[in-house]
Every structure is written in C-alpha cells, then in structure tokens.
C-alpha cells in the first residue's frame, strides 16, 4: 500500500472518533494485508518494541509517583512552597508553580500532577479570592513541568525510540524545567499585580526551615535517585525500583499515611496505566516500523532540506509542526512516531539527540494542555467541570509563556546539555 493511501485511512479513522491506538493498529493491519505480508508481523513488531530493559523504568516510576501521592506528600510540599514564595506578588499562584516543580521531581507525569496537586492548588486559590479561570489555567499550564523535570515518563519513551542515554536525557531536563517554571512565575507576577490578587505575609526563614524539615524526607527521593545515577551506583531502571522501595518505606513507616489496604488500589492503578501505555508503545512501534520501511524518515529529511539548510529555521519548522501535531496526537504516540522519523534530519544537521529530546519533550508537554485531545486538558476539565472552550481561553496567556520558554530552550542548546556534559562528559 502506498503511503499516500495509508494517511487518508488513518485520518478517516481519527475523524470517526476511533482512538488513535486502534486507528494506527487498523491502518497497520490493512497495510500488511495489502503488501502481502504475514499479519503475524504485528505480534512480532509489538514484542520487539516492548522487549527493552529501559522500558522497565516506566512502571517503576509510575508506581513511585502513585505511592508518593497516596502517602500525603503533596500537602507537605504545598506548605513548604507557600512558606518559600507565598509572600511574592502572585501569592498562591507562585506557590502552585513552585510546588509543581517540586512534585514533578517525584511523579514524572503531567496528568498525575494535574489530578493530584492541581485539585489542592485550585481549592487554595479560589478560596483566597483568585479567579477560577486563572487558577484552572495556571494548574493546567503547570502540569507541563511534570514531563520535563525528571523523572519523566515521556523522556523514557523518547530514549526507547532513539537509543540515547536515558541517564543523560533525564538529567538534561532539570534546567529547562526550571526555565519553564520561571517563565510561568513571571507571568503570574504581572497578572496578579494587575488584578491585585492577595499574597501571604513573610514569616521569616525559621518558618521556611520548619516546613522544609517536614518535607525533606520526601525531597530526598530525587537526591537518592539522581545521585545514584550520576555516581554509577545503579542504572536508571534500577533507580526507579529504588525510588519505589523508598516511597513505600516513608509512606508506611515515616509519614504513616500509606495504609496496607491502599497498596492494592495503588498497584491496580499502576498496572492499568502501565498496560495502557504499553499497548500504545507497542502499536506505535509497529506503525513507526512501517513508516521506516516506506522510507519516510529519509524522504522527510530530503524534503525539509530542499526547503532550507538553515538549522535555526529548520528547528523553528520542526517546533511548529510538533506543536500542531500535539493538538491532535497524544505525547507518547507522537514521540514514538516522529522521533525516529526525524533522526536522519537531526544527524545531517549535527544536532545532539539528547538536546533535541528535551526540545521534543517540551513540545509534546505543551500539546498535552491544548485542545482538542490534550490529556491534561481533559484531566483538569474533569476536576473543575469547566467547559473546554473556557479552559482553553484561560490557559492561553500561560501558553504564550511556555512557548517563549520553548524558544529559549531550542536556541540555547547548552541549557539542556550543561548538566549532562558536566556530569557524564560530552557525547551522546
């Protein structure tokens, strides 16, 4: 089947509201039958995609995040963030962003952060007199930090799709995630100043230290995780398992808010999410194999380079394309399909794949908050009951701040590469 026929079939299935997972699966099956290939290749390609040691990190990071959320870590982090930045203009808006940056270093999932931390942040802001739309838009925009500040589930998927070092990639997300957070905080400052939102009274460093002391055990998760990776004590996959064990111990024996009966629900939720992501990765792997077989990556590189050879202009084109695609395709499938397709182009331009992994992760995380299929968008809609049109309008100003941070990260590669090169040396 020629590629020009596959694309319309795929788009028609999407237009009929068939989930993208099944749309790709059906299109792939039609291709195999049309080409006279054995349909058993579906099973083979899915198994080959999922047969990866790196991929074991995904369920462990999910489990660690779920254990932390159930153990009551979120409340403590919010109180610490409030003592730290609650007195700045923007008050609880600033608290929401800082708390999201901290929680992102535990969960690795934007959807989990929006559904967990987002509920508490919104309640705090609306009770204090903040507009509901402002609160919802900020919570939605803040959820984009989860996939950037490590551990990051979508970065695990990118590492699987491209073969780059997962340790380097995860470390690379720290500074870019911080820049995204700062851009949001600056915007919150000006909006709060214009609307005269309230802020807390500064209670001094003693209060900050006290709140920090109540949160430090949870914050040590990131220290143990990445300290072990950088020093070589364990791999990223092993680190994810250690994070689960640590979360289990502090949840049950230290904070004592995680009950044994809660574990069944946590394990079931993790298993469900892992199974769903695994199905998506497997089918996307099959679809990507077909695209590679048809020579799409090389054709894409040739086409783009025929338009221009200017690296900066090409990066702008790729960013725009990913942002548009992110409005219609979820983060995981978009990475698995587009990352391998872009590798020939990136190699010709001598673009570091770790750096581009951060750029792509920022792109798809922004896509998670944009209509019509943003997963975080639907999560916040479910929490707040705010219609999509109104929520999309509320997040618009924050979307501009995130795109500004994307451009900064795109055109200053050292923002992403400084820490990996410092800790692991130069190279991919």
| pLDDT of 3 | 62
| pTM (2 d.p.) | 0.86
- Maximum separation of any 2 CA atoms in the chain, in Å: 73
296-311 pLDDT tens trace: 778 888 888 998 999 9
Residues 6 and 23: beta-carbon distance below 8 Å = no
320-347 pLDDT tens trace: 999 988 887 778 888 988 898 899 999 9
| pLDDT of 227 | 78
Residue whose C-alpha is closest to residue 172's, from 209, 206, 147, 144 = 147
Return d(Cα 357, Cα 363) in angstroms, integer: 10
- Confidence label for 37 from pLDDT (cuts 50, 70 and 90): confident
Two structure tokens written together for 211: 């709140």
| pLDDT of 107 | 63
Mean pLDDT throughout 227-231?
Answer: 77
45-98 pLDDT tens trace: 888 888 877 788 888 888 887 887 777 777 788 889 999 999 999 999 999 999
| pLDDT of 15 | 76
Q: Is the pLDDT of residue 373 over 90?
A: no
Q: Is the pLDDT of residue 251 over 60?
A: yes
13-28 pLDDT tens trace: 877 878 777 888 888 8
Q: Is the pLDDT of residue 428 over 60?
A: no
Residues 120 and 297: beta-carbon distance below 8 Å = no
Two structure tokens written together for 205: 């460093």
């Amino acid at each position: 089947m020629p590629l020009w026929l596959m694309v319309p079939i795929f788009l028609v299935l999407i237009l009929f509201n068939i989930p993208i997972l099944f749309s790709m699966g059906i299109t792939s099956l039609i291709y195999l039958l049309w080409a006279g290939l054995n349909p058993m290749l579906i099973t083979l390609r899915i198994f080959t995609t999922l047969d990866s040691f790196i991929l074991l990190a995904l369920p462990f990071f999910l489990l660690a995040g779920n254990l932390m959320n159930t153990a009551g870590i979120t409340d403590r982090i919010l109180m610490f963030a409030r003592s730290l930045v609650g007195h700045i203009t923007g008050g609880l808006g600033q608290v929401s962003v800082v708390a999201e940056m901290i929680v992102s270093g535990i969960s690795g999932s934007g959807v989990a952060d929006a559904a967990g931390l987002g509920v508490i942040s919104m309640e705090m802001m609306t009770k204090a007199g903040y507009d509901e739309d402002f609160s919802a838009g900020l919570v939605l925009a803040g959820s984009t930090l989860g996939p950037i500040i490590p551990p990051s589930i979508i970065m695990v998927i990118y590492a699987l799709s491209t073969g780059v070092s997962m340790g380097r990639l995860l470390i690379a997300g720290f500074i870019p995630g911080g820049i995204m957070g700062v851009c949001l905080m600056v915007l919150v400052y000006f909006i709060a100043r214009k609307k005269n939102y309230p802020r807390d009274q500064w209670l001094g460093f003693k209060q900050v230290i006290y709140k920090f002391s109540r949160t430090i055990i949870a914050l040590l998760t990131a220290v143990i995780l990445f300290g072990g990776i950088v020093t070589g004590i364990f791999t990223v996959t092993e680190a994810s398992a250690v994070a689960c064990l640590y979360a289990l111990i502090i949840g049950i024996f230290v904070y004592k808010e995680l009950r044994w009966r809660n574990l069944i629900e946590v394990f079931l939720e993790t298993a469900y999410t892992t199974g769903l992501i695994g199905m998506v990765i497997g089918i996307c792997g099959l679809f990507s194999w077909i695209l590679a077989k048809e020579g799409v990556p090389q054709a894409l590189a040739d086409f783009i380079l025929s338009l221009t050879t200017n690296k900066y202009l090409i990066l702008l084109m790729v960013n725009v394309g990913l942002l548009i695609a992110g409005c219609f395709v979820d983060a995981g499938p978009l990475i698995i399909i587009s990352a391998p397709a872009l590798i020939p182009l990136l190699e010709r331009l001598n673009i570091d794949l770790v750096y581009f992994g951060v750029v792509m992760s920022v792109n798809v995380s922004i896509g998670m908050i944009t209509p019509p299929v943003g997963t975080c968008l639907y999560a916040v809609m479910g929490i707040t009951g705010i219609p999509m049109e109104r929520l999309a309008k509320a997040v618009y100003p924050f979307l501009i701040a995130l795109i500004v941070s994307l451009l900064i990260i795109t055109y200053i590669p050292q923002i992403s590469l400084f820490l990996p090169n410092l800790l692991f040396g130069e190279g991919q």
